[in-house]
Amino acid sequence: MNIINLTRDHDEDFVHRVEEESGQKVSLCYQCGNCTAGCPYTFAYDIPVSQIMRLVQMGQKKTVLSSKSIWLCATCESCTTRCPNNIDVACIMDVLRHMARREGLAAVPQVKTFWDSFLDSVRAHGRVFEMGLLINYVTKTGRFWTDMDLGPKILPKGKLALKPHDIQGKEHVARIFERFDRESNS
Amino acid sequence: MRIGVFVCHCGSNIEGTVDTAAVAKATLEFPEVVYATDTMYACSEPGQDGIIQAIKEKNLTGVVVASCTPRMHEPTFRKAVERAGLNRFMFEMANIREHVSWIGKNREANTNKSLDLVRIAVEKLRRDAPLIPSKFSVNKRVMIIGGGVAGIQAALDCADGGLQVVLVERESTIGGKMAKLDKTFPTVDCSSCILGPKMVDVAQHPNITLHAYSEVDSIGGYVGNFQVKVKKKATYVDWELCTGCGACIEKCPSKKNPDAFNEKIGPCTSINIPFPQAIPKKAYIDATTCRQFVKGKCGVCAKVCPTGAIRYDMTDEIVTEDVGAIVAATGYDLFDIKKIPEYGSGTYPDVITGLQYERLLSASGPTGGHIKRPSDGKEPKNIVFIQCVGSRDKSLDRPYCSGFCCMYTAKQTILTKDHIPDSQSYVFYMDIRSPGKMYDEFTRRAMEEYGARYIRGRVAMVYPKGDKLMVRGADTLAGTQVEIEADLVVLAAGAEAAKGAPQLAEKLRISYDKYGFFMESHPKLKPVETNTAGVYLAGSCQGPKDIPQSVGQGSAAAAKVLALFSKDMLESDPQISRVDIKRCVGCGKCIMTCPFKAIKEVEFRGQKKAEVIETVCQGCGICTSTCPQGAIQLSHFTDNQILAEVNALCQS
Amino acid sequence: MSEAIAYYPGCSGLGTSKEYDTSTRAVCAALGLSLVDIPDWSCCGSTPAHTKDHTLSAALSARNLQLVSDMGLKAAATPCPSCLTNLRTANHRIEGDAFKAKVNKLLDDPYGGDVNAISVLQALVETVGLDTIASAVRTPLKGLKVACYYGCIMNRPPELMAFDDCENPMAMDNILTALGATVVPFPLKVECCGASYGIPRPDVVAKLSGKLLEAAAGLDADMIAVACPLCQMNLDLRQGQINRAMGTSYRTPVPYFTQLMGVALNIPDAEIGFGQLNVDPRPVLSKALSGAD
């Protein structure tokens, strides 16, 4: 097990960044565990959310941003709703994902790929094109078996459109993404 | 006038950021200042001796001390100048600690500001006049409001000390929350066995008058001479005749009312005596459920009462009690667990409060001391206790620790094991708070000897699954989510201010905090005093307390009352309003605005004038700012003095 | 007829939750709630956007809110809780001037922040009202036992969503009761179904949605009424996957609450769209309704 040297390995700048980007004060957390108790995803996490909060307090940037948990949080808001100290924990999990992306980290790559495929679809068509998204995801991950079983259930019902619903203002939507990319890189 | 100025270092508290020697030196330039010095601790014995010596040697007629807040040491220095032969009101204080050194770091700016504050104090002192307090007699009777264990202790100690005591209790019996408990920590002795004899002592003490089923209606007067109107609520039973035989309770046909004494987990009759050891052991009728009142016919109790004590036409009665001091001992209430819907209280009958659980444990409770769950009467095997329900929770505006829940939960796990040997208790806790004699050892015993499984973490939700309750919590030490299939869930509901506490505080003219707990005069040094002379506190009305703390405070409040009553005459504070009769036009505006009813109308040579009742005036000054003529002036804070202070500040 | 509300169907309304869209439109029309389509609306960005960046997410939502403002309307209703959360979060964050400036920097047409977003569910209970709904019932759902499942974000966090109770919401329960159905007290009303992890982590959805199916079955519910396209997809379309992963054999219909409203209001079958669901509710429904006679 890793031994943490608290004088040397406490990244205070990381703590400040999390607080600034989330608008939350992490020192409010007194580790009651209510977030972990209510989190439906605890079983799938490598680090329970209350410990993510603890590790943020301790300035453990690398451990936190390399965790799988931050990619498995569904923002279901049970932590935020029930936190006795009114901390928006789900927002902190969101911000940690943003930071992990900037560091080039994604401990559950297929989740990031799925989300990226989704946004690519929105960028291209203005609305999400479900079939295209699925194909894009499968191509990128090589997980060709994904939801193969659902095809016979859904295709005959005509619910999964085979061509995108492009909107007239799709260039406008694309420009939102372009400007965002420029702002992020500047 | 010959003024001396003493600038205190307060160790490094002031000297750290104020050049006290420079302040002292500069004040010598102020008018009528003839002596100035800095001093290490003005409040210490050598510090006070230095002031006294200077008064004598330099023939000073007034003194300014620049140090801390007057709340801390004004009385100290007033006594010191009095010992040197000056009138105690020929003294002023400049607060250069709380108002300067503790809030600013810039030494130069702090030094300048300190000098300004001393300049103001000197200008006020130059306009001070000697004031002489007048004396008045004391009515050596005391009223205790609240007959829980704190009020009982205060009443008994005062009565044993020879005072006449009036004890006012809202419910039909004294005993408070302690009477509802089964056993008490950390000794696990029976609550009613140790409280019962004290309750009997109250009933039998020749010096104690008990008004049960009564509430304080209004309070007038002042220290030494309060008039309290007490509303004796209609019990519909003549207690002079009631023998407490219980025949009426046996025959009452309205049997299914939620029993408040049993925390509503059992039924009771409309005419009732809450429990066998009740003091007074007298029956009363709940008119909201009694058939005679609700339907207009029944009359069974009147028929069966062997002494003919039933009085359906009884009305509330107001009695006036004259007392010299009042002790508030009104206790606490429980946090409403329905405010946490995710725990299912109110929806699932097997989610109960710790106090309800006490009633299930108690031999005098609705189950005769057998633990049965409310839903189906089955004996529970897996019992989950959740702590900090409505405590340490900012999201519910209850950020404070209720203090005693950790201990009573540990006690309840021990009692559970005694009652049901094959049961398993689980306790969800955040921190175990057990800082009392034998307290921590007690919680360890719950775990080590009685096998209670303690889980460090909160619970997110409780929901039904079959006939079980699923408790989903966290074990933060193991770093995981945990689930328990419980038969019964006991919530350690936190303590809140008693219902109606703020309203009573306003009647008593004492302060209360944002949660409704009464404010003590000083958090450390005056824990049972209030800022209103003659009004004292005991027990949980000031903040959550366990039994030993409450009893200690009851005795402490009694000691304060006995000390107050040790004098036959009290001195009134001369810092009160006075009317300049020549200027007063008798408009009566001051009479209307005075919050203490301390001004009355008098006739003077055929003209209406205002007159201040010395003993009632609290010196708040509202009348002086209301008077259109400037005819009413607050001694020691006259308009001239305040204007001189403002001038001094503007000139600097 | 109440004041018109802009209608934001959300991307899934054009595909995987078509029947939610058609039944919503039909029910609102029947109850006199005037929904006006937003011309050329775009995707709100859903979960993927806010997990990438809050400004980007708000900009994608704000484009649509500004379109509503251009229509001269003050409120938009959406059937989808995920869209709703994004629209409301954008509004909330835009109250901060610095954030608003950053968002408007990404947009062609800056958004002023003056359009409220609510759910269709909220519009039905607050604008239309339960009494109106009850009096419009033509085929009471007597004999039908329903568990109402709201999903995790319809009401949470309460400060943001500002609708109904965050732990025990009742809006859908009350509607179904008004329709004549028997609503079972469903303790997992606001538990998460697995959300958008169906594709990248089907094991997660199997476990979480499996729990919901188990709880509903434990209460003898005939079906689970839902208000979220993602919940519906996980519970219905993936029910086979769940059964395989959990070793169960549920065949629980999971209709949208608007579809059940459609039945009670005698909306034509084509607009109700039961045939679009994986587990067809009609056999269970007709059995329950006939048993009541």
- pLDDT above 90: percentage of residues in chain A: 75
Any domain includes A148? yes
Q: Which of residues 13-32 of A touch C (CB under 8 A)?
A: none
What count of other Cβ atoms lies within 10 Å of the Cβ of residue C281? 24
Q: Which residue of C has its CA nearest to A135?
A: C199
Q: What is the pLDDT of residue C1?
A: 47
In a domain, B242, yes or no: no
Residues B461, B385 share a domain:
yes
- Looking at the structure, tell me whether residues B452 and B505 fall in a common domain: no
Q: What per-residue confidence (pLDDT) applies to A154?
A: 83
- B478 — contact with chain A (CB < 8 Å)? no
Q: Residue A144: phi, psi to the nearest 5?
A: -70, -15
- Name the residue facing C15 among A113, A159, A172 (closest C-beta): A159
pLDDT mean across residues, chain B? 96
A18 in Cβ contact with A26 (< 8 Å): yes
pLDDT digits (tens, 9 = 90+) for B519-542: 999 999 999 999 899 999 999 999
Whole-number Å distance between alpha carbons of B574 and B131 = 6
In this structure, are strands B459-465 and B468-475 parallel, antiparallel, or unpaired?
antiparallel
Distance, in Å, from the CA atom of A88 to the CA atom of B17, rounded to the nearest integer, reads 41
Residues 6+ apart with CB under 8 A from C230: C12, C82, C151, C193, C195, C196
> Smallest CA–CA separation between B590 and chain C, in Å?
48
Q: Domain check: are B105 and B20 in the same one? A: yes
Is residue C3's pLDDT more than 80? no
Residues B363 and B274 in one domain: no
Measure CA of the first residue to CA of the last residue in chain A; give whole Å: 40
Which of A72, A75, A130 minimises the CB distance to C47?
A: A75
Which has the closest alpha carbon to B158: B563, B525, B531?
Answer: B563
CATH topology of domain C5-121: Glutathione S-transferase Yfyf (Class Pi); Chain A, domain 2 (1.20.1050)
Confirm or reject contact between A135 and chain C (CB < 8 A).
Answer: no
Nearest one of B339, B337, B354, B331 to B498, comparing CA atoms:
B331
Same domain, A97 and A16: yes
Nearest-angstrom CA–CA distance, B535 and B329: 11
Confidence of residue A153 (pLDDT cuts 50, 70, 90): confident
Q: Is A145 on the interface with B (CB under 8 A)?
A: no
Number of domains in chain A: 2
**C153 contact residues in A (CB cutoff 8 A):** 75-77
CA distances from B452 to B284, B421, B489, B566 (A): 42, 12, 14, 52
Contacts of B76 (CB under 8 A, 6+ apart): B43, B48
Residue spans of the domains in chain C: they are: 5-121, 139-284
Which residues of chain A lie closer than 8 angstroms to C42, CB-CB? 122, 126-127, 167, 169-170, 172-173
Task: Kindly list the partner chains of chain C, i.e. chains with 3 or more CB atom pairs below 8 Å.
Answer: A, B
Span C56-72, average pLDDT:
97
Confidence of residue B554 (pLDDT cuts 50, 70, 90): very high
Residue B488 sits in the same domain as residue B508: no
Same domain, residue pair A50 and A122: no
Tokens in use for B11? 């160790």
- Minimal CA separation from A38 to chain C, in Å: 9
Whether residues C187 and B464 touch (CB distance < 8 A) is answered with yes
- CA distances, B203 to each of A78, B281, B623 (Å): 54, 10, 46
- Interface contacts (A, C; CB < 8 Å): 168
> In whole angstroms, what is the distance from residue B471 CA to residue A40 CA?
14
User: Chain C partners of B347 at a C-beta cutoff of 8 Å?
Assistant: 168, 185
- For residue B341, tell me if it sits in a domain: yes
Regarding whether A157 and A94 lie in a shared domain, the answer is no
Residue of A77, A110, A115 lying closest to C52 (CB–CB): A115
Domain that holds residue B620: 577-635
Tokens describing residue B231: 């509303």
Q: Mind listing the pLDDT tens digit for each residue in B15-58?
A: 999 999 999 999 999 999 999 999 999 999 999 999 999 999 99
Residues of A in contact with B479 (CB under 8 A): 36, 47-48, 50-51
Which SS3 state, helix, strand or coil, does residue C196 take? Answer: helix
- Cβ of B474 within 8 Å of Cβ of A47? The answer is no
Across B418-441, average pLDDT: 97
Give domain status of residue A94, yes or no.
Answer: yes
The verdict on a CB contact (< 8 Å) between A77 and C238 is: no
Residues B412 and B340 in one domain: yes
**Is A57 a residue whose pLDDT tops 50?**
yes
What is the pLDDT, as a whole number, of residue C292?
A: 52
| pLDDT given for residue B253 in this prediction | 97
Our measurement of the distance from residue B399's CA atom to the centroid of its chain's CA atoms, rounded to an integer in Å, reads 19
Nearest Cβ partner of A40 from C102, C199, C208? C208
The ipTM of this complex is 0.94
Asked if B95 and B28 sit in the same domain, the reply is: yes
In this model, does residue A81 exceed pLDDT 60?
A: yes
Q: Average of pLDDT values for C38-63?
A: 97
In a domain, A6, yes or no: no
Q: Is C212:C235 a contact under the CB 8 Å cutoff?
A: yes
Which residues of chain A make contact with C275, given a CB cutoff of 8 A? 157
- Quote the minimal CA–CA distance from C208 to chain B in Å: 14
Quick check: is A59 in a domain?
yes
For residues B376 and B422, membership in a common domain is answered with yes
Strands, sheet with B535-537, edge to edge from the N-terminal-most edge strand:
B208-211, B164-168, B141-145, B325-328, B535-537
Percent of chain B with pLDDT over 70: 100
For residue C293, is pLDDT > 70?
A: no
Q: Are B134 and B572 spatial neighbours (Cβ–Cβ below 8 Å)?
A: yes
Q: Is the pLDDT of residue B86 over 60?
A: yes
Same domain, yes or no: A56 and A135 = no
Does the bond joining B280 to the residue before it have cis omega, within 30 degrees of 0?
Answer: yes
Task: Give me the domain span that covers residue A26.
Answer: 12-102
**CA-to-CA distance for B138 and C50, rounded, in angstroms?**
72
Contacts of A37 in chain B (CB under 8 A): 457-461, 472-474, 481-482
Q: pLDDT tens digits for C215-269?
A: 999 999 999 999 999 999 999 999 999 999 999 999 999 999 999 999 999 999 9
Report pLDDT digits (tens) over B583-630.
999 999 999 999 888 999 999 999 999 999 988 888 999 999 999 999
- Whether B22 is in a domain gets the answer yes
pLDDT mean across residues, chain C = 95
Judgement on whether residues A50 and A131 belong to the same structural domain of the protein: no
Residue C2: predicted pLDDT: 60
CATH topology of domain C139-284: Rossmann fold (3.40.50)
CB-CB under 8 Å, C168 with B463: no
B437-448 mean pLDDT = 97
The count of domains in chain B is 5
How far B181 CA lies from chain A's nearest CA (Å)?
29
pTM: 0.91
User: B337 with B474, same domain?
Assistant: yes
Per-residue model confidence as pLDDT tens digits over B98-136 = 999 999 999 999 999 999 999 999 999 999 999 999 899
- Reported as a single tens digit per residue, the pLDDT across B238-296 is 999 999 999 999 999 999 999 999 999 999 999 999 999 999 999 999 999 999 999 99
Q: Using CA coordinates, name the residue in chain B closest to A87.
A: B395
Does C105 score more than 80 pLDDT?
A: yes
On whether both B365 and B459 belong to a single domain, the answer is yes
Q: What is the pLDDT of residue B71?
A: 86
User: Does residue B601 belong to any structural domain of this protein?
Assistant: yes
Please state whether the peptide bond connecting residue C158 to the residue before it is cis, i.e. omega within 30 degrees of 0: no
Residue among B568, B542, B598, B114 at smallest CA distance from B328: B542
Alpha carbon of A42: minimum distance to chain B alpha carbons (Å): 7
What phi and psi values does residue A92 have, to the nearest 5 degrees? -65, -40
Q: Is residue A48 part of a domain?
A: yes
